[in-house]
Amino acid sequence: MEEYDVIVAGSGIGGSLAAAGAAKGGAKVLLLDRNDYSQAGKKTNWGWVCGDAVAKTHVDFVRDELGLKLAEPVLDVAVEGVQVLSPDMTRKFQFEGAGFSLDRPKFAKVLVDFAKKSGAEYRPNCEVGGPVVEDGKVAGVYGRDEKGEQFQYRAKITIDALGIASTIRRKLPQNNYIENTVSTDDIESTGRYIASFEVKEEDINYYDPKNALIHLNQQLAPGGYGWVFPKSGKRVNIGLGVEKKSLEIRNSKLNKTDTLHTLIDQYIEWNRAVTNLKLDDQDKNGKGYWSVTVRRQFDSLVYPGYMGAGDSMAMPNPISAGGIGPAMSSGAIAGKIAAEAIAAGDTSMDFLWKYNLRYNEVYGNKTAGLEVFRIYLQSLNNELINYGMSKFLTKEEAIAISYGNVPEISIASAFTKVLSGISNINAFKELLYAVKTMKEMNETYANYPKDPSSFGAWKAKVNAKMHEVKERFKPNPI
Ligand SMILES: Cc1cc2nc3c(=O)[nH]c(=O)nc-3n(C[C@H](O)[C@H](O)[C@H](O)COP(=O)(O)OP(=O)(O)OC[C@H]3O[C@@H](n4cnc5c(N)ncnc54)[C@H](O)[C@@H]3O)c2cc1C
């Protein structure tokens, strides 16, 4: 049984950066992962399943925090932004600024190398079974190594970066800080191909070498969206996400039996620009399916002796499902704060609470508002999305929403919109409710508790509001 300052479980994006951050801060760090180095960061047997797109702001954040400089070939292709298209393909909003399409397998190795170079001890081939809990505090992890032998490692702080299915989070004692599971309503089932292709028809609404495209369409991707992201060498990352209830409703109303798998193939067929797809099975990463959460991150990211980063804490953006950036930023912040706690000789919950505050300041403050908007969006059928994207919101307002900034849809501007021909007043009222609630959520997060003592009351307020939103907006894809 060995003793560390910090154990980081999972050497994916969040984990490798947490290990680097903690080691750079002087802590004795152990980084564990089930995979061999040659498969570092691989999420599942299906590979490094991801759309691979990340905003430049996150890449810059980690460069500034930890000094990590990324370049080609990890940053496979630069994109100008993410464009979201309406179901009828007549409206296109530019969301998020410049970014990159990553080579995920190479990216993961660079991050593990960075953690090692920063001083972390890396042990691959270790399956983490769960947390060691003593007196209500996480004191390390147990699991099995490559020979099948049991291990137990102890640490003052354990950072959970095991991804969405984390065996540590799921086995924490029931508590008011970290939930063990995520509701299926807040999960998207997703899949994607990485493939070379031929151009059938030049049309940048279907494939754009300079932009990541998102297609909203409740028939093709109920409760989610389809995407076509460019990759180098005339390849695409093309895929789709669906929400379970929305898919069931859509199938029953259309009398169909589609699954995620059949929908991806239909989406590819629907795409006018790409044809003759040939899977790029380098690294056995050509085709894969996995899940991603679309809720706000867990209300607290810390528990006694424990911090979580990335997908283990449900951090992907509730609207875009982009989780690479949040995993990068949270990993860097968690690692640094863990090292500060070790240096201060204070690993109490009160000290680790800084992580909640800092993550919210950097990214987390806006995600509850975005979750509200995601739930609202899932209640709209194609007709209403088309209508809303042409009549309800200006491009500026839509962009503001995508960044989690609530636009001022003032009474005067609402009145102008009504005069300009909105016939569906009810649907517009629902949008106003969603925007008002986003604003309330942003204010609630601006008042995130400064220490654990007032967390219970704050959390109850967030849960009550989110319950109200879920009761008001039910999935209604068709
Ligand atoms: C189809 C799809 C498309 C997506 N597209 C995008 C996109 O375009 N842009 C974007 O920003 N995000 C996207 N995401 C989300 C993004 O991929 C994740 O948010 C990101 O990978 C999270 O990183 P992480 O480090 O938290 O977790 P992970 O990448 O899941 O890493 C977890 C690590 O822990 C290891 N591990 C897990 N369990 C154990 C165990 N028991 N013992 C030991 N090791 C273990 C795994 O092997 C892995 O190395 C997408 C997700 C999916 C599924």
Q: 446-459, pLDDT tens digit by residue?
A: 999 999 999 999 99
pLDDT band at 427 (very low <50, low <70, confident <90, very high): confident
Query: What CATH architecture is 184-292?
Result: 2-Layer Sandwich (3.30)
Q: 44-60, pLDDT tens digit by residue?
A: 999 999 999 999 999 99
E strand spans, 118-208: 121-123, 127-134, 137-144, 150-160, 187-199
Residue 131 alpha carbon to ligand 1 centre in Å: 20
Q: Give the model's pLDDT for residue 416.
A: 59
Q: CB of 277 within 8 A of CB of 195?
A: yes
List the residue whose alpha carbon is closest to atom 5 of ligand 1: 51
Length of the chain as a residue count: 478
**Does the pLDDT at position 400 exceed 80?**
no
List the residue whose alpha carbon is closest to atom 8 of ligand 1: 51
Q: Give the model's pLDDT for residue 410.
A: 54
Task: Give the long-range contacts of residues 167-174, CB within 8 A, separation 24 or more.
Answer: 167/128, 167/129, 167/130, 168/9, 168/128, 168/130, 168/131, 168/138, 168/141, 168/306, 168/312, 169/308, 169/312, 169/313, 170/130, 171/130, 171/131, 172/131, 172/133, 172/138, 172/303, 172/306, 173/133, 173/136
User: CA 240 → CA 84, 85, 157, 165, 321, distances in Å?
Assistant: 14, 14, 37, 20, 11
List the residue whose alpha carbon is closest to atom 51 of ligand 1: 50
Of 77-81, 147-151, 423-427, minimum mean pLDDT range? 423-427
Q: Which amino acid is at 14?
A: G
Classify strands 274-279 and 187-199 as parallel, antiparallel or unpaired: antiparallel
Query: Measured from the CA of 11, which atom of ligand 1 is nearest?
Result: 49
Residue 12 alpha carbon to ligand 1 centre in Å: 7
Q: CB of 11 within 8 A of CB of 31?
A: yes
Domain 2-76+102-180+295-364: assigned CATH number: 3.50.50.60
List the residue whose alpha carbon is closest to atom 35 of ligand 1: 10
Question: Is residue 292 classed as helix, strand or coil in its secondary structure?
Answer: strand
Q: 184-206, pLDDT tens digit by residue?
A: 999 999 999 999 999 999 999 99
Burial class (CB within 10 angstroms; exposed 0-12, middle 13-18, buried 19+) of 195: buried
Residue 46 alpha carbon to ligand 1 centre in Å: 12
Residue 310 alpha carbon to ligand 1 centre in Å: 8
Q: CB of 241 within 8 A of CB of 222?
A: no
Q: Give the model's pLDDT for residue 389.
A: 85
Give the mean model confidence (pLDDT) for residues 12-39.
98
List the residue whose alpha carbon is closest to atom 13 of ligand 1: 322
List the residue whose alpha carbon is closest to atom 2 of ligand 1: 50
Instruction: List pocket residues of ligand 1, CB cut-off 6 Å.
Output: 10-15, 32-35, 41-43, 49-54, 127-128, 161-163, 167, 190, 192, 239, 290, 292, 310-311, 316, 321-325, 327
Domain boundaries, the chain: 2-76+102-180+295-364, 184-292, 367-472
Entry pTM:
0.96
Query: Measured from the CA of 165, which atom of ligand 1 is nearest?
Result: 38
**Does the pLDDT at position 20 exceed 90?**
yes
Residue 164 alpha carbon to ligand 1 centre in Å: 7
Q: 273-282, pLDDT tens digit by residue?
A: 999 999 999 8
Residue 109 alpha carbon to ligand 1 centre in Å: 14
Do the domains 2-76+102-180+295-364 and 184-292 sit in the same CATH topology, yes or no? no
Give the mean model confidence (pLDDT) for residues 49-78.
96
Residue 200 alpha carbon to ligand 1 centre in Å: 33
Mean pLDDT of the chain: 94
Residue 468 alpha carbon to ligand 1 centre in Å: 30
Query: Measured from the CA of 310, which atom of ligand 1 is nearest?
Result: 26
Residue 1 alpha carbon to ligand 1 centre in Å: 29
